[in-house]
Amino acid sequence: MSSPFGSWPSPFTAASVAASAPRIDGARFAGDDIWWGESVPAEGGRVTVRSSTGAEILPSPWNARSRVHEYGGGAWTTDGDALYFVSADDQRVYRLQPGEEPRPLTAAGPAHGGLRVQRGRLLAVREDLSLEPHRRAIVEIPIDGSAAEDDALVRVIAEGPGFFAHPALSPDGTRVAWVEWAADSMPWESAQLAIGALADGAVHRVATSAALQPEWASDTELVFADDASGRWQLQRLTLDGVYPAGAPRALTETDADTGYGLWVLGNRWFQLLDDGRVVAVRTNGRDEVQLLAADGDSTTVELPGDGHLSVEQAQGSRVLISGDGSTVESGLWCVDLDASSVQTVVGGTPADQRWMPGAQQIVVEGSHGAVHAFAYPPASPEAAAPAGELPPYVVLVHGGPTAHVTGAASAAIAFFTSRGIGVLDVNYGGSTGYGRAYRDRLQGQWGVVDVDDVIAAARGLADAGLADPARIAIRGGSAGGWTVLSALVRGGTFAAGISRYGVSDLRLLAAETHDFEAPYLDGLVGPLPEAEDIYIERSPLTHADRIDVPVLLLQGADDRVVPPSQSEAIRDALAANGVDHEYVLYPGEGHGFRRAENIVDALERELAFLGRVFGFAPSA
């Protein structure tokens, strides 16, 4: 059938998108079973823990979610028998023996995350915001519950005003390794590897660039990732006690990253096998998994997923890997490396290529260098546009901004492309996945490089005759929402904008932001008060009178990362200037929408908004 772009009939409803591929939150072997965390949008985004037997290990209303560093991560783990988890309600750690009620292991007050059980001992990252200055620590929590009433029984291994991640206990139980960074930096800018002796508290810090995920290969060897070469590469460090016996030795030297921005505490990019082999993710735009032999040889592990992969755990020759893919929806896979077999544990549904063809990797030249993006053209087996009509497009801008997209198959993207609306997902300068030089392109230039790059990507698509230049919208959340508003201020490229909990005023963000991101703006823009003039000049709110196209603003009422005041300030300015706009505040939502009803409402509003602005009647 012939129908205008944007009005094609589609099987992807907002409700089906909300109920689509599971959001996996960690996975572990539990004896012969496999457990994984999964967000449940129909239950307000509650994170449960499920079993491959079909059982739900963490029953409602319990919700495993950490708020350490605000973004959390590592909110549950298991020793193969009991479940250890952080309750979203009080941030205490609980122990759940299947069939019993959860029992608290920590006292009320501090928050916990990054849980890890090794050799019967439970390690965690602790955050106490009741103290001034705020304090964080690597701790060991007694698993017998004794510290639930006496917090003094929690063993503090390392503590300070900075930040901590990735605790790892040595095989002989005498030392702990971790990653730490100062309160005035971000972990992808500068982070140290530290090793502490439990007997006397001695700590040795290793000079590293942006260390990630230490793992013990033996009592005298550590493997970790670091990006001193410009790419996160695996390193091996030999130790004499807590002291290095020489400098780290690179295990890999590739034009790819084994690592990512340390936003959350649960991600793992590699695992060590008992026989000395290493299974690791390598990222260069998209992901692949490599198996590294002891002699340095490397072979590719065939896997359906190729985006945002996390090597959750290894057991013998089996590894659990979660992520998404360009031809499959997000999922969890159990890979037997010796048998060369892949078992889909949950999700991983193959995309219907008629409705959801693979994204096309594109590179355009911008004023700051190459710009990487993934293009999803309109696709439908049932409809086509009239001859000569060019499709409308939505340019997506990811958050962070130190993050990246991988061209994944997504029902949320097919919601638009199946209706005849193209999608262009941009990894602007500052994104991870292309090395430190690409990431550092944004240093001091937030609001400049990101805007230039998304404009270059959009114009490149239009110049190639693939998009209607008069019908290109831009959509982004958080830092992506900042780029949306900044691009609309620039004018001339985008005919509409959708900002989800976007930043509009840099000075307000600096005043209201949480500890973890407090130093972020120093690098992205400049330190205050010296750079205050730049903060004012770059802020979209300062130049809101230049926005002359329709804007849709979506905001969570409980967002502590980008509070509602940011969206409401730009809303008021648009109203004062008579600019077509809509503002929706979602009660109970934080930084990102998790409740099914709000995911549905937001998507339906976005589609209706695009139809109204671009002159098409969306299908139901």
Q: Mind listing the pLDDT tens digit for each residue in 372-398?
A: 999 999 999 999 999 999 999 999 999
The structure's pTM equals: 0.94
pLDDT-derived band of residue 45, with 50, 70 and 90 as boundaries? confident
**In this model, does residue 270 exceed pLDDT 90?**
yes
Q: Interhelix angle for 479-490 vs 449-463, to 10°?
A: 70
Query: Rounded CA gap, 540 and 487, in Å?
Result: 9
**In this model, does residue 477 exceed pLDDT 80?**
yes
pLDDT-derived band of residue 1, with 50, 70 and 90 as boundaries? confident
What does R_g of the chain's alpha carbons equal in angstroms? 24
pLDDT tens figures, 52-110: 999 999 999 999 999 999 999 999 999 999 999 999 999 999 999 988 999 999 999 99
Query: Rounded CA gap, 22 and 104, in Å?
Result: 28
Query: Rounded CA gap, 269 and 612, in Å?
Result: 44
Q: In 90-218, at which residue ranges do the beta strands (DSSP E only) sit?
A: 93-96, 103-104, 111-118, 121-128, 135-141, 155-160, 163-169, 175-181, 192-197, 203-206, 212-218
Task: List, in sequence order, the alpha helices (H) in 469-619.
Answer: 479-490, 506-512, 520-524, 532-538, 564-576, 596-614
Cβ neighbours of 200 (radius 10 Å): 8
Q: Which two tokens stand for residue 392?
A: 């409308």
Query: Rounded CA gap, 546 and 20, in Å?
Result: 39
pLDDT tens figures, 426-466: 999 999 999 999 999 999 999 999 999 999 999 999 999 99
Q: DSSP state, 385?
A: P
pLDDT tens figures, 330-368: 999 999 999 999 999 999 999 999 999 889 999 999 999
pLDDT confidence of residue 254? 95
pLDDT tens figures, 396-416: 999 999 999 999 999 999 999
User: CA 590, 594, 600, 603: dihedral to nearest 10 degrees?
Assistant: 60
Closest CA to 319 of 274, 282, 358, 286: 274
Between residues 513 and 183, which one has the greater pLDDT?
Answer: 183
